[in-house]
Amino acid sequence: MQPEDAHRVSEIEQICFSRPWSEKDLEEVAVKTDALYLVAEDTDAHDVAGYVGAYLILQEADINQVAVAPAYRRCGIAMQLMQDFMQKVSARGITEVTLEVRKSNSAAIALYEKCGFQTEGIRKNFYEAPTEDACIMWKR
């Protein structure tokens, strides 16, 4: 992700998350050396179709966002983003990846399980608007 992608990524954030990151936050994280954000682009439409982002801490990556714009869903974009992300972090020597996902988000949980993640715990009342538990998932 480049800082110029932040506007479109922010629009997707607004649609997908109850507590979206701001465009400014996304511009800043795009240039951080301790973060990795990837975007999937529709080059024909000059549009961001989806993205994945994480903070990198020693040999771990903490994914904080995975989202696909509604017009691009069910096209395999999330799976491709996750596969590309896992290849890039592996090349950096990262051996463990974690994320939290709403307990009710069965589609996302199924995606992460296909990518090799396993649920290892629950964070009670982790999410707001609405309040909901999070599944803590790891791929080691």
13 is catalytic: no
72 is catalytic: no
**One of 37, 51, 72, 112 is an active-site residue; which one?**
112
**One of 100, 113, 120, 127 is an active-site residue; which one?**
100
Strand order across the 96-102 sheet: 35-42, 47-57, 60-68, 96-102, 132-139, 118-127
* Dist. CA 17–CA 2, nearest whole Å: 21
Q: Residue 76 in contact with residue 115, Cβ under 8 Å?
A: no
Q: Which residue in 88, 86, 126, 77 sits closest to 105, CA to CA? A: 126
Active-site residues, by number, are 100, 112
